Each structure stands twice: as C-alpha cells, then as structure tokens.
Amino acid sequence: MKIGTDKANKLRELIDSGPRRIVIVTHTNPDGDAIGSSLAWGELLESKGHDVTCVVPNRYPSFLDWMPGIEQLKIFKYDEDGSTAQKISEAEIIFCLDFNQITRLERLSDAIKDNETAQVVLIDHHLNPSAGFDLIFSYPDSSSTSFLVYELIEQLEGTTAITKRMGENLYVGMMTDTGNFAFSNLTPELFRAVASLVEKGVDVAAIHSNVYNSFTEDRLRLLGFALNKMETFRAGDVGVAYIALKESELRRFRFQPGDSEGFVNFPLTVRTLDVSASFIENKKFIRISLRSRGDVDVSKFANKYFDGGGHKNASGGKSFMSMAETIAHFRRSALEYFGEGVSVESSPRQTTEFPG
Ligand code: 5GP
Ligand code: MN
C-alpha cells in the first residue's frame, strides 16, 4: 500500500526534528510481529539519534529470545524501579505498534494516558483503530505491522536504511503473522520486500528454525493433549472446533507464556472445519483466540460476543466467565451467528487409540 504523502510528511517532520525521547509500545502477550516491528522501528529511530525505549506489557515467548536487540526490551510488568514508567512519562513521542486500542495494554495503558504532552502515533494493521492517536497509520490490508514498517522506512528513508539486524526482525514479523506465508494479503510487494531482506543477508532457513523448531518437550506434549481434547460441532454449513485448556491442565505441562501460541490453527487443517477457537485460562480470565477460513468472519463474531476484535480470519477476545459458561456462550453464539440459530448435534467425544 502507498502511504499518503501528507501523512508520510508529518511522520518525517516528527522523526527528523532533532533528537527526541521516544517510547515504542506494543501489545500484551507480544508476538513475533509485535516485537519484530518494534525492534526494527526502534533501531531506525536510534540511527537517527533519538533516545529510544521499546516497551512490552508482559513477557515475550522464549522462542523469540534470539531476536537481535531483544535484550534491550523493557517488560513493563517487571518495572520494579519505575525506570520504564519514567521513560514513558518523559517521552515526547510514543509509537504504538501492532495494536489498535490503548486499552489492550492493561496496566501500561494508564502510564501512556498520564503523559498528556507526547505525540501518540499508531502504526498498525488491525481493523477499526480507536480514537486518541495524534497520527494514525492504520492499514488492515497489510499482512503484518513489520511489512508496514518496512514500507514506511522504504518511503521515508529508502531501503538502504534497513540493516541486516532490522531485516531479521522485520522478517520474523512478516513470517509469523502470515503463518509462514500461507494466509491472506500475500501481495507481490510483500515478496519483493522479503527478496530485499534476503539481499541484506537475512537467513530465512535459520530464522524459520529459530522460531518454529525451538519448543520445549512440555509444549509439544501440551499440544498433543490439547488436540486430543478438541471438540467439534456444526453451526449450519460452518464446521466449528474448539480447544479449551484450564489453568490446572496448563500447570500439569509446566505452561510458559507463548506455549499455546498457534494451537488454534491446527483444527483448520481439517477439511470440514471452518472456524477454530481456543480458550486458554489464566488466573484472571480466559483468553480467546479465533481463526477462520475464507469468507467466514470471526472478527465481527469476536466483537459481538466476546468484546474483542482483530482480523476477518484471526481475532480474539476475553471471557470473565467460568470455562463451562464460556464454552456454553461460545456454542450458543456460534449457532446463532454462523448457523442462524440452527441447532445441531455435537460430535461425539473422540477418544484417540494409539497403535501398539
Ligand atoms: P491471537 O489469537 O493471535 O491472540 O489474536 C489474533 C488477532 O486478534 C490479533 O490480531 C489480535 O490483535 C486480535 N485480538 C486478540 N485478542 C483481542 C482482544 O481482546 N481485543 C481485540 N480488539 N483484538 C484482539
Ligand atoms: Mn501483527
């Protein structure tokens, strides 16, 4: 996508106007795109002489540990000495990357709102950004925020400004948010961007292995357990699957943040399933992830029934009900929304027989 000249100029003015105190924030449970886009954008701003602090609300999954510059990230949850809060309160510019509502940052939201003088700039690819930003770069057709950052840098500075380190971080976001280049919005421009990152020396195979082949044995066993628990039903023409994991079950597998990342995608490898949901319980609430294929829209569904949102084929939300109530609400809602109220039988509970 082409970024409007007016807006690009405003951004250029902002980042070309002498050294500034800049904070970059991204969403709770940061993923490869959140971290990759933040680190790359941060490195570009640092190269222009700014004082940059990248902040995440809580910890990132361990399979991202190797990302260049990740050791500089401030985890707001562990800001015991208040130094990160101070950086936020003193910031002249705050960039919000890969999310569209400041309220999604939980406790970090207040710290940002308390700084009333900073220019707050959104760079994101989710639908329907909320109000409250001074400058908005919202491109829902972009497959990742990392690709959007690539295009912003290309337009503002030219691709020569992108270093190999930045390229590695951007590639992680492009790869993970597209499910390794398998989902939607796979444009020629995206592959041209990837080609240019490869020219800079980005090692695609090494990054793939770092991200996808670095799980713990506990995580793999939890995946097996989760898939075995999967339930399916039909809502009219739409095949629906869900996976529910209670806190006690997660504890059995020594659950670490990020361990359930991607679980929700597996049911869609079944030809007859069109919608997949996962319900992952923590101490405070149940985190809901939704995926769909084709024209089936889970973003509106998440918004209507779970106060959430996201993209047409990948969305999420929260539930403060019990697991049983959440599942009952989900089943009713799916029947109403996808099946127009047609009641259908649940599939019998599968028990898996292992050979031998
Ligand atoms: P995930 O399932 O990977 O956590 O989230 C999938 C997509 O849905 C992401 O793009 C994410 O931003 C969005 N999403 C997840 N949870 C929420 C939520 O509670 N509210 C909104 N508005 N979007 C969400
Ligand atoms: Mn993203």
Ligand nearest to the CA of 33: 2
Q: How far is CA 25 from the centre of its chain?
A: 13
CATH value at residue 70: 3.90.1640.10
345 found inside a domain: no
Counting atoms of ligand 1 from 1, which one is nearest the CA of 261?
Answer: 3
Do 126 and 239 fall within a single domain?
Answer: no
Do 152 and 272 fall within a single domain?
Answer: no
Domain residues for the domain of 203 are 5-212
| Helices within the chain (DSSP H only) | 5-15, 32-47, 83-90, 107-114, 145-157, 164-177, 188-199, 204-212, 217-229, 247-252, 298-306, 323-337
Quote the radius of gyration of the chain (alpha carbons, Å): 21
Identify the pLDDT of residue 118.
Answer: 97
Q: Could you state, in chain order, the average pLDDT of each consecutive group of 10 residues for the chain (356 residues)? A: 87 94 96 97 98 96 94 97 97 97 87 95 92 93 97 96 98 96 93 98 98 93 98 97 98 92 95 98 96 94 94 93 98 94 44 38
Do 140 and 241 fall within a single domain?
Answer: no
Residue 60 structure tokens: 């990132």
344 found inside a domain: no
CA atoms within 13 A on the CB side of 304: 13
346 found inside a domain: no
Q: Quick check: helix, strand or coil at residue 187?
A: coil
Do 179 and 302 fall within a single domain?
Answer: no
**Domains held by the chain: number:** 2
Identify the pLDDT of residue 341.
Answer: 52
351 found inside a domain: no
**C-alpha–C-alpha distance, residues 74 and 224, integer Å:** 33
Domain C-terminal end among 212, 244, 262: 212
**C-alpha–C-alpha distance, residues 216 and 220, integer Å:** 7
Do 251 and 184 fall within a single domain?
Answer: no
349 found inside a domain: no
Identify the pLDDT of residue 356.
Answer: 38
Ligand nearest to the CA of 306: 1
Contact 112, 94 (CB under 8 A): yes
Give the residue from 231, 230, 225, 229 showing the smallest Cα distance to 254: 225
Do 100 and 49 fall within a single domain?
Answer: yes
Q: Which residues sit with their C-beta closer than 6 Å to ligand 1? A: 101, 104, 126, 289, 308-311, 314-318
pTM (2 d.p.)? 0.85
Do 154 and 241 fall within a single domain?
Answer: no
Residue with tokens 């999967």: 230
What is the Å distance from ligand 2's center to 177 Cα? 6
Contact 233, 345 (CB under 8 A): yes
